[in-house]
Amino acid sequence: MTGGWTRRDFLRRSAAAGAVALAGPAVLAACSSTSSGDTLETAKKAGTIKVGIANEAPYGFTGPDGKTATGESVEVGRAVLKALGINAVDAQVVDFNGLIPGLNARQFDMVTAGMFINKARCGAATFSDPDYTAPTAFLVPKGNPKSVLTFDDVKSKTLKLAVLSGAVEQGYAQKSGIPDGQIQAFDTQNSLLQAVATGRADAGALTNISLNDVVSKNPSAAVEVTKGFFPVIDGQETLSAGAFVFRKGDDAFVNAFNAELKKLHDSGEWLKIAAPFGFNQDNVPKSDVTTQRLCSA
């Protein structure tokens, strides 16, 4: 059921293995497994927990030293776990599509990789309350000279739009009636950035998280990111949200985690933690964005 869920597949939404230590030396082996029983209580007694990441910015990735893991999901997860009495976090890097299988095989006890909530994944694992939402945004030249805010703007003004090949925004553009001749597909985010920065494209469409991240890494580029929004495609709002992932049956762990995650959101502390990774107020989940809603969509 979980095979083939690559990051690019999750972006469609179709309308290097190893151990990394977050606190202290690496302690995981490829064949390591966690114990059965009450996951939360076991982790609290041990003072440490094993988590899975996909080594992907800005969610969960290794830092410049190649050992320390960081990212929005990692840092938010660390803050919640610390509040639960778990001070050390050991991260195992696996392919994105191996995260849920690894979780269920007890190689680690939760996933901190910014994974989107969807119906298929909800059948294989339990998701926390939404950690963040991922609205679409546009990368545009500084000052947004063409006033691009929606896909309709691109269509009506006959603008050239850059998209990531195979990503959901390519489908959004097509379903919004933008002719294929106006759409340019690129294989990487940096290529999309360069297309807009050099004027080969008037705008680029992707999640605001990814665009904010790539802009932060290219401060000399004369571009900016528009306000995020959820396009209405085929009469439906294209709502996307990411969360932490747990094994089925770990209800006590999930409930305790959700309670502390809510405190981070309510206090504004979440935004302080997430902002360095390209997240802003547009990514704070609204009250009507629930895991139950997204699991049944």
| Percent of the chain topping pLDDT 90 | 81
Taking only the tens place, the pLDDT of each residue in 121-130 is 999 999 999 9
Q: Per the structure block, which two tokens stand in for 183?
A: 């759409």
Q: Which of 6, 132, 18 is nearest to 75 (CA)?
A: 132
Interstrand relation of 69-70 and 161-164 (parallel, antiparallel or unpaired): unpaired
Q: Rg of the chain over CA atoms, in angstroms?
A: 19
Contact 164, 196 (CB under 8 A): no
Q: Per the structure block, which two tokens stand in for 9?
A: 């597949």
Q: Which amino acid is at 219?
A: P
34 pLDDT tier (thresholds 50, 70, 90) = low
Taking only the tens place, the pLDDT of each residue in 86-121 is 999 999 999 999 999 999 999 999 999 999 999 999
The predicted pLDDT at position 37 comes to 59
DSSP state of 278: T
Flag whether pLDDT at 30 surpasses 50.
no
Distance separating alpha carbons of residues 44 and 253, to the nearest angstrom: 11
Q: Which of 240, 206, 213, 226 is nearest to 71 (CA)?
A: 213
CATH topology of domain 7-133+240-296: D-Maltodextrin-Binding Protein; domain 2 (3.40.190)
DSSP state of 32: -
Distance separating alpha carbons of residues 237 and 253, to the nearest angstrom: 31
Domain ranges in the chain with CATH number 3.40.190.10: 7-133+240-296, 136-237
Distances (CA, A) of 37 to 18, 28, 196, 251: 25, 20, 52, 12
Distance separating alpha carbons of residues 148 and 91, to the nearest angstrom: 40
Q: Give the best-scoring range by mean pLDDT among 10-24, 58-72, 261-275.
A: 261-275
* Reported pTM: 0.82
Among the four given CATH numbers 3.60.21.10, 3.40.190.10, 3.40.1010.10, 3.40.470.10, the one describing domain 136-237: 3.40.190.10
Contact 108, 246 (CB under 8 A): no
157: left (phi over 0), alpha (psi -120 to 50) or beta: alpha
Q: Which of 259, 140, 123, 137 is nearest to 196 (CA)?
A: 140
Q: Is residue 143 helix, strand or coil?
A: coil
2 pLDDT tier (thresholds 50, 70, 90) = very low
